[in-house]
């Protein structure tokens, strides 16, 4: 069986400047949620990823992540927001449309 990913095309969706300026906060929160889930599953910090020992070097504060991992979280956050907008949802902050 061959799997061919087919995500919803959100390439034409643009984020407002105000919403785009929040991406780092969304990315950090994504990492915080991932970290909490890993810890709850018994994972701990380790210099080398080890699935058997449940150790990962990524169980660190967001600010200490390698840039490549931060970018992964940013892309995930942007994709979720764009999908919400594509599906017709509006994001509102303090009675202002974002």
In a domain, 49, yes or no: yes
Tell me the residue range of the domain where 83 lies.
17-97
Q: Is residue 10 part of a domain?
A: no
- Domain annotation covers residue 31: yes
- pLDDT, mean of residues 71-95: 92
Place of tokens 């069986």: 1
| Higher-confidence position of 91 and 32 | 32
Q: What is the pLDDT of residue 98?
A: 61
Give the CATH number of the domain where residue 63 resides: 1.10.490.160
**What confidence score (pLDDT) does residue 64 get?**
98
Q: Is residue 42 part of a domain?
A: yes
Q: How many domains does the chain have?
A: 1
Q: Using the predicted structure, report yes or no on whether residue 70 has a pLDDT greater than 80.
A: yes
Residue 32 lies in a domain: yes
Residue by residue, DSSP assigns 24-87 as: HHHHHHHHHHHHHHHHHTT-EE-SS-BTTTTEETT-S-GGGS-HHHHHHHHHHHHHHHHHHHHT
What pLDDT is recorded for position 47? 96
For 27-65, the pLDDT digits (tens) are: 999 999 999 999 999 999 999 999 999 999 999 999 999
The answer as to whether 5 is a domain residue is no
Q: Find the mean pLDDT for residues 60-84.
A: 97
């Amino acid at each position: 069986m061959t799997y061919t990913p087919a995500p919803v095309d959100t390439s034409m969706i643009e984020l407002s400047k105000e919403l785009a300026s929040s991406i780092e906060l969304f990315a950090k929160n994504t990492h915080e949620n991932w970290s909490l889930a890993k810890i709850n599953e018994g994972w701990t910090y380790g210099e080398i990823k080890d699935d058997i020992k449940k150790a990962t070097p990524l169980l660190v504060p967001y600010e200490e992540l390698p840039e490549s991992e931060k970018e992964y979280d940013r892309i995930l956050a942007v994709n979720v927001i764009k999908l919400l907008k594509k599906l017709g949802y509006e994001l509102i902050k303090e009675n202002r449309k974002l």
